């Protein structure tokens, strides 16, 4: 099973009608669409991406599926957007997803970076309800990806020491496979 499918499998068992969820790297909108389907008619999803073209692509996907009313689109750096939600005292969310890296088929220089990823993950954990789930897929095969993946790993170890449940999944491969971290807030 690919890691993207694993994330959907984990969240299918976790999310329920009426939940709130965040896609912190909406890209082409596949994960946002999945989250919107899971939270149902009374749920809400916030989809964040730093690129307007990604937000537009996500909008089109959700409009085609007739689910755009469940989704708020935010074109901004995720660390900034998530901190704003905390300041605004946004209600807790049941799940947050991060699929790190760059938008396939787009400008590869616009990619997630260790520093803002760390800030965004810290804000996400704060926004999760108790029992809430954070899924982070990190890639080590591109420039900057290894440092970012190490930053995520360090943060996950700290979170585990703080009492959160943390799992790590990686496909068997000798060639810098992607890695999925799943955190469940205590
Ligand atoms: C691998 S893609 C995400 C794929 C997406 N989950 C999907 O289902 O299509 C990574 C995305 O992260 C976005 N990104 C990069 N840096 C970001 C940042 N600081 N804040 C928010 N999004 C960012 C990129 O624009 C890109 O669309």
| Distance in Å, CA 156 to ligand 1 centroid | 20
Q: With 90 as the cut, is the pLDDT of residue 143 above it?
A: no
- The pLDDT, as a whole number, for residue 14 is 98
Residues 6 or more apart in contact with residue 2 via CB below 8 angstroms: none
pLDDT of residue 15: 98
Q: At 57, is the pLDDT very low, low, confident or very high (cuts 50, 70, 90)?
A: very high
* pLDDT tens per residue, range 157-177: 999 999 999 999 998 876 888
Q: Atom 16, ligand 1: which residue's CA is nearest?
A: 112
CA 111 distance to own-chain centroid: 14
Q: What is the pLDDT of residue 1?
A: 87
Q: What angle do CA 152, 158, 161 make, to 5 degrees?
A: 140
Predicted pLDDT at 175: 82
Report the percent of the chain where pLDDT is more than 70.
99
Residues in contact with ligand 1 (CB, 6 Å cut-off)? 25-31, 48-51, 54, 77-78, 99, 101-103, 110-112, 116
Residue 110 region, left (φ>0) first, then alpha (ψ -120 to 50), else beta? beta
Contact (Cβ atoms closer than 8 angstroms) between residue 182 and residue 133: yes
- The CATH code for residues 3-184 is 3.40.50.150
Task: Phi first, then psi: give them for residue 92, nearest 5 degrees.
Answer: -60, 155
CA of 131 to the centre of ligand 1 (A): 25
Domain boundaries, the chain: 3-184
């Amino acid at each position: 099973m690919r890691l993207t499918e694993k994330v959907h499998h984990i969240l299918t068992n976790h999310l329920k009608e009426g939940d709130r969820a965040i896609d912190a790297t909406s890209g082409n909108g596949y994960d946002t669409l999945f989250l919107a389907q899971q939270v149902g008619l009374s749920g809400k999803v916030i989809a964040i991406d730093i690129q307007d073209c990604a937000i537009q692509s996500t909008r089109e996907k959700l409009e085609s599926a007739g689910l755009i009313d469940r989704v708020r689109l935010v074109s901004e750096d995720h660390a900034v957007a998530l901190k704003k939600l905390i300041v605004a005292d946004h209600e807790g969310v049941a799940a947050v997803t991060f699929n790190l890296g760059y938008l396939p088929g787009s400008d590869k220089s616009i990619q997630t970076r260790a520093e803002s990823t760390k800030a965004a993950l810290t804000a996400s954990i704060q926004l999760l309800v108790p029992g809430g789930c954070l899924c982070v897929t990190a890639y080590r095969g591109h420039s900057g990806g290894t440092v970012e993946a190490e930053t995520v790993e360090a943060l996950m170890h700290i979170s585990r020491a703080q009492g959160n449940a943390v799992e790590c999944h990686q496909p068997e491969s000798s060639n810098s496979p992607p890695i999925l971290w799943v955190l469940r807030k205590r």
